[in-house]
């Protein structure tokens, strides 16, 4: 990558808390990943009593569609292959460290017509321990736009510190009206990615369009900030990423 562009991305990440990168995955890689989803969805929908996934439901509690898949690396080898892909690791390491620990992988499926909203939040506030030095890589498998619920972010909100969701009044908005007025949408074309700090405040609106919005989210941590996180070798049975492993396809 152009060194000047590299520095601009690093500055944007420091100041805004996120960067948008187009074309991280090519058409062939997207097609291979998309091909997995229907069969995987059928398998998980047939086991609604398990907690590996979440569902969209109607007012009567009836399942409408699959919403989220957890433990993604255990669902198919291609997800593990993607998590260790050289170009993805090199991208994330620009903002973290040459050595990365994998924290978690999920797929979010905001399905056409039924995909629900996700309110303002910080990822670290829900599941983090220790220091919030983690980065998420949100990879669009399908186009994410205003109509089907692309991410909205508050630029610079990663500097606000941890907003203690569990301790706040459930009836009180997480953000003030002044803070929320700073929000901007971040549309992403299929194959593109958003790399963002774990304290960046973000949300997504419902999908009321005729187009699905599918994305994969991988979270990575630098080893010097592990502080109680599940290390890659403990959590997934892999060794931590090293400079040598970054060279693997």
End-to-end Cα, the chain, rounded Å? 18
C-alpha to C-alpha distance for 41 and 24, rounded to whole angstroms: 24
What total number of domains does the chain contain? 1
C-alpha to C-alpha distance for 189 and 208, rounded to whole angstroms: 18
Residue stretches of the chain with pLDDT short of 50: 166-168, 227-249
Q: What is the mean pLDDT of the chain?
A: 84
Question: Is residue 17 situated within a structural domain?
Answer: yes
pLDDT of residue 131: 72
pLDDT of residue 241: 47
CB atoms under 10 Å from CB of 213, counted, come to 26
Question: Is residue 150 situated within a structural domain?
Answer: no
Range of the domain at 170: 3-134+163-247
125 vs 152, 201, 205, CA distance in Å?
Answer: 17, 10, 20
Closest listed residue to residue 197, CA positions, set 244, 249, 228, 157: 157
pLDDT of residue 138: 98
C-alpha to C-alpha distance for 70 and 60, rounded to whole angstroms: 24
| Tens-place pLDDT, residues 60-88 | 888 899 999 988 988 999 999 999 898 99
pLDDT of residue 234: 40
Question: Is residue 174 situated within a structural domain?
Answer: yes
Rounded to two decimals, the pTM is: 0.88
Question: Is residue 147 situated within a structural domain?
Answer: no
Q: Which two tokens stand for residue 108?
A: 């979010």
Question: Is residue 156 situated within a structural domain?
Answer: no
Q: What is the CATH number of the domain that holds 228?
A: 2.60.120.620
pLDDT of residue 228: 46
């Amino acid at each position: 990558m152009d060194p000047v562009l590299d520095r601009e991305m690093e500055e944007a990440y420091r100041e805004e808390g996120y960067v948008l990168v187009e074309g991280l995955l090519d058409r062939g890689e997207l097609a291979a990943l998309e091909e997995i989803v229907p069969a995987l969805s059928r398998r998980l929908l047939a086991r609604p009593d398990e907690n590996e996934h979440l569902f969209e439901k109607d007012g009567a509690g009836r399942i409408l569609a699959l919403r989220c898949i957890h433990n993604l690396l255990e669902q198919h080898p291609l997800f593990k292959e993607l998590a260790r892909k050289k170009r993805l690791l090199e991208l994330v390491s620009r903002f973290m460290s040459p050595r990365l620990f994998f924290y978690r992988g999920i797929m979010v499926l905001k399905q056409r017509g039924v995909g629900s909203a996700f309110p303002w939040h910080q990822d670290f506030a829900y599941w983090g321990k220790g220091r919030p030095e983690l980065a998420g890589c949100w990879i669009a498998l399908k186009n994410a736009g205003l109509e089907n619920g692309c991410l909205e972010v508050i630029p610079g909100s990663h500097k606000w510190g941890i907003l203690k969701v569990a301790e706040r009044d459930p009836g009180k908005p997480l953000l003030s009206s002044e803070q929320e007025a700073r929000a901007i949408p971040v549309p992403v074309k299929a194959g593109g990615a958003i790399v963002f700090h774990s304290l960046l405040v973000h949300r997504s609106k419902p999908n009321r369009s005729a187009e699905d919005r599918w994305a994969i989210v991988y979270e990575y941590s630098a080893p010097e900030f592990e502080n109680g996180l599940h290390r890659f070798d403990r959590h997934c049975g892999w060794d931590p990423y090293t400079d040598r492993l970054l060279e693997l396809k």
